[in-house]
A and B are shown apart, each in its own frame.
Chain A
Amino acid sequence: ETGVTQSPTHLIKTRGQQVTLRCSSQSGHNTVSWYQQALGQGPQFIFQYYREEENGRGNFPPRFSGLQFPNYSSELNVNALELDDSALYLCASRRQGGVQETQYFGPGTRLLVL
């Protein structure tokens, strides 16, 4: 158990819809990152939040957005869903400090877009 939880575990949407995925970080962790993992691929970085501010973004369009709350839980929102958005979405939390900190991953949300 990593102490990172995600909800829902599975989700089916249709093209054009919007979706919100949730993540609860491990206690004491102030940084959360979201990753998209397509089938047979490694996770791809979407964005990162530190103390409720986005402080890093991968090569994903603006329709992917997020929020981090004061209790360090977070959301990933995807608007105008496309078929290629079907993937496993992973969140990872860590305590950002002055040294390399290990990221701990949640179990993921599997999204299917029809």
Chain B
Amino acid sequence: GAGVSQTPSNKVTEKGKYVELRCDPISGHTALYWYRQSLGQGPEFLIYFQGTGAADDSGLPNDRFFAVRPEGSVSTLKIQRTERGDSAVYLCASSLRSGAGYNEQFFGPGTRLTVL
């Protein structure tokens, strides 16, 4: 497929468990973003990768949240000791980020996380 893909589509877990959410960006896109969308809200920025490094992690709510992108392509968002308040749709987006000028972010379909 040519678009951003995210797995799983839905994830149900119990409070206190560990979860991993995966994002496959569009091939060749160097920039990757994670957003969290709580019920009835717009997406909120979590973290941005340029290549392999996290260039901006200012949106991560606390140290239970961590994300990696070891080879500059696939990214994994990791949540430790999940809480009910972590329930949300987690969206991933990628962009070409070729340099100056506008770079459109293309979004995946998201992972709906439910913490019981």
Q: Are A and B genuine complex partners?
A: no
